[in-house]
């Protein structure tokens, strides 16, 4: 997204246009009128990534336009960034400019921040990092009061932690999360809380126990667990599985089992096509868990055809989508057996064409 598109004065108008467009796309599946959850117009983004451009003694954060990928655009202000990222950006740039050990062959900078006030900065280099870099980076991390990770090819040096601590309050309860460096987290924390709250409201009337696919670090899993006797949550990425288990322990949640399986493997297990040794971690067979509600938050490609078929066997489906087009494709199949009872739109990415959707489907 070019920062030239950021126009807080027109935020409401831009959001309204997106709502009309997405509602029209999903209209063939007869959803109710959407409940719309807007974002804060500025200061909403908890993650940021910039290339570093060296020009003589100068050093700038830059981005590149899609229509002109060869011309760097210096970033002097980042209005969509959270307050902590905006505060740190000039302090970090000045520190890098003043220290050749830190700036030499620096290629990229990544920020990861939280509502809880923690920030982790990743510096990516095109050179090997030696002891002098680690000494300088340790001083820098102390001065900025944040954790710092240095990366180069086959090398990772950590100053502090490899994660930040987040706290999200849903329905009056604060949930604690470890969010790991270079692992997926929701970029708009305020809208994320809206999504968590909406999903929990739908779960209050959902039947049976819950199967969750693509659970990531447990972002949805933790608050959803309060609404079911048992939850089976699956995720393929090892870092995310580790984080999800840590986050369950942090919050003393003991009715969730995290299993490292892909969505396709879950489909095969549910259909009895294959047996997986990883399912032996469960205290009883998967079929004995009375799984009648499904929660999915898939990648932009949506659900594959096998997973859609498996989803159709559930009494209720809570579907969070980051791509309205693939959601529409999936609904074309799911609405043969289910109807859309609730529909929500979450403006996770203001000033872009992207819109996060939530649908709650129940069997006809």
- Per-residue pLDDT reduced to its tens digit, 263-305: 888 888 887 777 787 887 888 878 888 999 999 999 999 999 9
User: Rounded CA gap, 354 and 46, in Å?
Assistant: 17
Asked if 106 and 50 count as a contact pair (C-beta separation under 8 A), the reply is: no
Q: What angle do CA 183, 256, 240 make, to 5 degrees?
A: 10
> Which pLDDT value is given to residue 1?
64
Note the pLDDT of residue 277.
Answer: 79
Q: Is the dihedral of CA 361, 266, 183, 328 positive or negative?
A: negative
Q: What is the pTM of this model?
A: 0.94
Report the catalytic residues. Answer: 322, 356
Q: What is the pLDDT of residue 287?
A: 80
Pairing of strands 209-213, 291-296: parallel
Q: Which domains does the chain have, with CATH numbers?
A: 3-41+187-363 (3.40.50.150), 47-164 (2.40.50.1070)
Residue 282 has a pLDDT of 83
pLDDT value, residue 223? 98
Mean predicted confidence (pLDDT) in 327-340: 97
Query: pLDDT tens digits for 161-180?
Result: 999 999 999 999 999 999 99
- Please say if the pLDDT value at position 127 is more than 90: yes
pLDDT above 70: percentage of residues in the chain: 99
């Amino acid at each position: 997204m070019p920062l030239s598109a950021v126009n807080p004065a027109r935020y409401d108008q831009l959001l309204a246009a997106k709502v009309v467009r997405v509602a029209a796309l999903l209209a063939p599946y007869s959803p109710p009128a959407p409940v719309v959850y807007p974002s804060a117009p500025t200061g909403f983004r908890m993650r940021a990534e910039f290339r570093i451009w060296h020009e003589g003694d100068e050093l700038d954060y830059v981005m590149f336009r899609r229509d002109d990928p060869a011309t760097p655009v210096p970033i002097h202000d980042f209005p969509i960034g959270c307050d902590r990222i905006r505060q740190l950006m000039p302090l970090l740039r000045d520190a890098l400019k003043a220290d050749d050990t830190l700036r030499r062959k620096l290629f990229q900078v990544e920020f990861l921040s939280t509502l809880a006030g923690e920030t982790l900065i990743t510096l990516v280099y095109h050179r090997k990092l030696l002891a002098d870099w680690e000494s300088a980076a340790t001083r820098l991390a102390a001065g900025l009061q944040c954790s710092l990770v240095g990366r180069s090819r086959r090398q990772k040096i950590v100053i502090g932690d490899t994660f930040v601590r987040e706290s999200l309050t849903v329905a009056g309860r604060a949930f604690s999360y470890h969010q790991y460096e270079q692992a997926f987290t929701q970029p708009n924390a305020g809208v994320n809380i809206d999504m968590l709250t909406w999903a929990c409201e739908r779960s209050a009337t959902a039947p049976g126990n819950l199967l969750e696919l693509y659970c990531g670090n447990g972002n949805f899993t933790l608050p959803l667990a309060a609404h079911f006797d048992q939850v089976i949550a699956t995720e393929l990425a090892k870092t995310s599985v580790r984080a999800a288990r840590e986050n369950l322990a942090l919050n003393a949640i003991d009715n969730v089992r995290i299993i490292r399986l892909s969505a396709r493997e879950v489909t095969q297990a549910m259909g009895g096509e294959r047996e997986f040794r990883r399912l032996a971690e469960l205290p009883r067979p998967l079929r004995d868990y009375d799984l009648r509600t499904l929660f999915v938050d898939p990648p932009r490609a949506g659900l594959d055809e096998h997973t859609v078929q498996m989803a159709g066997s559930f009494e209720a489906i809570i579907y969070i989508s980051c791509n309205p087009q693939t959601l529409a494709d999936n609904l074309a199949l799911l609405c043969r057996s289910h109807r859309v009872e609730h529909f929500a739109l979450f403006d996770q990415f203001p000033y872009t064409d992207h819109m996060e959707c939530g649908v709650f489907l129940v069997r006809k």
